[in-house]
Amino acid sequence: MPAAPITFFNRLTRSLETEAVYGEGFLRFTYENPLGALPLHALVKRAAFSNWYGSRMDAPASQAKIAPFLTTYGLDVSEFADSPDSFRTFNEFFYRKLKPQARPIASGDDVITFPADGRHLVLPDIANCADFFIKGTRFDLPALLRDAALAARFAHGSMLISRLCPVDYHRFHFPCAGTPGAPRLINGPLYSVSPIALRSRASIHWENKREITILRTQSLGDVLLLEVGATCVGSIVQTYTPGEAVEKGAEKGYFRFGGSCFITIFEPGKIQFSDDLIENSQAGREVYARMGDVAAHALG
C-alpha cells in the first residue's frame, strides 16, 4: 500500500497542497517500518546524533548544499536579508534573517500573530482534544510543562502548534507584546516532529527537549511560549533579553539545522483562533501560514 501523503491547507494560495518532505524516505523507514525501531532508539532520537549532524552543517563543506537546496525547494531569495552567496555554511543559511518587509506584522491591539513560518494546528480547548494525531490520544499538558500548577491553570487553555520544516524560515518571534521571563529548559530526546513520526508516536511533543518562556501581557494574562527541539536540531538559540518588554513580532530566537516546533499556549477564554485554523484542525489538517500573519483575536 502506498504511503499516505502529507497534505495541508495553504493560506497563501487558499488551496490544499502536498508537502515535499525533506528526508521522507528515511523518516518513513524509521517511524513506519518495524525495522526502523532499532536505529530510531539506538541512534536517531539521541542528542549525540543531532549534534553530529548539526556539526556537519557548520562545516565549510556544507556551503555546497545551499544552491541545490534553493533549486529543489524553490525558496524566494529576494526575501533574504543577505545574499545566498554570503553564507559560509549551510547552518548560516538555515537560520538566515529576512528583510522586514518580507514578513509584515499584522496590526491591531487585539490581533495575535503567528510566531513562526510553518504548518499550524490548533487546539481551542486542550483538555477536550481526544484525537491528537492518533484516535483516543489526549495532549498531555502536565508532561509538556513539567509543572502541575501551571498545567492545571492552562488545562482548558488554547494551543497553537507551529511546525517548522527544514525549508522554512527558522527564526521565531513574539506573537503579542509583553514582558518575557527567562526560558526554562526541559531535557528530552530528539524525535522528528513530522506528521510521519507523530502518527506513530503522538507523545513526541511532550517528550522532546524543549524550552518554556512565560510572556506576561496586559490583556491576555500569561502566554506560554515553547520551543521544541527535533531530530538534527543543533540547538535552540534565544536572542531576546529576559525581563525586557517586547513588541509584537519582535525576534525571540532561532533554531539551528533541522525541523522543529514552536508551541503557544493561552489562558482559557482569552483568544479566538481564525476560522481556517479551527476548520482545518478539526479535519486533522495543518494550515501553512507565515510569521506575522493573523492567528487569533483577543476576546473581551
Catalytic residue check, 173: yes
Catalytic residue check, 260: yes
Residue 42, burial from CB neighbour count under 10 angstroms (0-12, 13-18, 19+): exposed
Spot the catalytic one: 120, 170, 173, 205.
Answer: 173
Q: Count CA atoms closer than 13 A to 123's CA, side-chain side.
A: 26
Spot the catalytic one: 62, 192, 194, 260.
Answer: 260
Spot the catalytic one: 50, 117, 192, 274.
Answer: 117
CB crowding 252-279: b at 16 or more within 10 Å, else e: bbbbbbbbbbbbbbbbeebbebbeebee
- Name the amino acid, one letter, at 256: R
- Measured in degrees and rounded to the nearest 5, phi and psi for residue 159 equal -125, 135
C-beta of residue 77 within 8 angstroms of C-beta of residue 66: no
Residue 75, C-beta contacts closer than 8 angstroms, at least 6 positions apart = 69, 167
- Measured in degrees and rounded to the nearest 5, phi and psi for residue 86 equal -85, -15
Q: Just list the catalytic residues.
A: 117, 173, 260
